[in-house]
Amino acid sequence: MMKNLWRIVNPAPIARYIFPEAVWTTTSGKILITFDDAPDSRTTGKVLNLLDDYNWKAVFFCVGESSSKNPGLIREIASAGHRIGNHTYRHKNLIGLAKTERLEEIMKCNAVLSEITGGDIHLFRPPYGRISRKIIREAANYGLRTVMWSLLTYDYKNDLNMFKFAVRKISDGAIVTMHDHVKSEQILPEGLRYLADWMAYKQLKPGLPEECLK
Ligand SMILES: [Zn+2]
């Protein structure tokens, strides 16, 4: 019961209190846009074009397995000036895994992404937002900083009204989570336009990943 409640009010202030080692908001006060579950051959190109329209630089948390199948998309994301983060190899809930499996999920994703991009990976986001102190520490041992979020857009529900409702709660320093995945494909163009308009109305500025995650 409590567990479900914890997820509905995601992320509850208590989560930030329990896991202060994870990043929940930006250091610059600007807005950081993040995309989970990348890459997806049906959406990544579209997402990149949309981000280009608004001149936003985002963090893409990539799944190792789909990255190894679509290395070209990872290179496109990186060469467009976005940051690549680790979202594990197979997108499993790490909480339910034994240590060796858990480490393999993190390590294997890092290996794939490093090989494709030719650089080290420094950012990590666990699937389903399920974290523990242990996971944060283990990720840190691989040089990864755990980046959570302060605003989940519910874009994956594919309901524009729900997305707008979520976005209207945006405030200074928000880390916004969206999905580079077919499940949110339909609402992405209008959703991002709404987000851009709402940010302008609230006088919130998008920030570069490096200035937001100092
Ligand atoms: Zn995910």
Return mean pLDDT, the chain: 93
Ligand 1 mean position to 10 CA, how many Å? 14
User: In the prediction, which pLDDT does 9 show?
Assistant: 46
Q: How confident is the model at residue 58 (pLDDT cuts 50, 70, 90)?
A: very high
- pLDDT tens digits, one per residue of 35-46: 999 999 999 999
pLDDT of residue 11: 62
Give the best-scoring range by mean pLDDT among 16-30, 50-64, 150-164: 50-64
> Contact at 8 Å (CB) between 110 and 144?
yes
Identify the band that residue 178 occupies on the pLDDT scale cut at 50, 70 and 90. very high
Residues with a beta carbon under 5 angstroms from ion ligand 1: 36-37, 127
CA 184 to centroid of ligand 1, rounded, Å? 12
Q: How far is the CA of 127 from the centre of ligand 1 (A)?
A: 4
The whole-angstrom separation of Cα 59 and Cα 35 is: 6
C-alpha dist (Å) from residue 3 to 12, 113, 130, 176: 11, 32, 11, 22
The structure tokens listed for 8 are 């509905």
Mean pLDDT on 62-71: 98
Name the residue ranges covered by the structural domains of the chain. 20-212
pLDDT at 5: 39
Tell me: pLDDT of 4 over 90. no
Q: Which residues are catalytic?
A: 36, 179
According to CATH, the topology of domain 20-212 is: TIM Barrel (3.20.20)
How far, in Å, CA of 115 to CA of 14, rounded?
37
124 alpha carbon – ligand 1 mean position (Å): 11
Interval 99-132: pLDDT, tens: 999 999 999 999 999 999 999 999 999 999 999 9
Half-sphere exposure of 192 (CA within 13 A, CB side): 24
Question: Quick check: 8 pLDDT over 70?
Answer: no
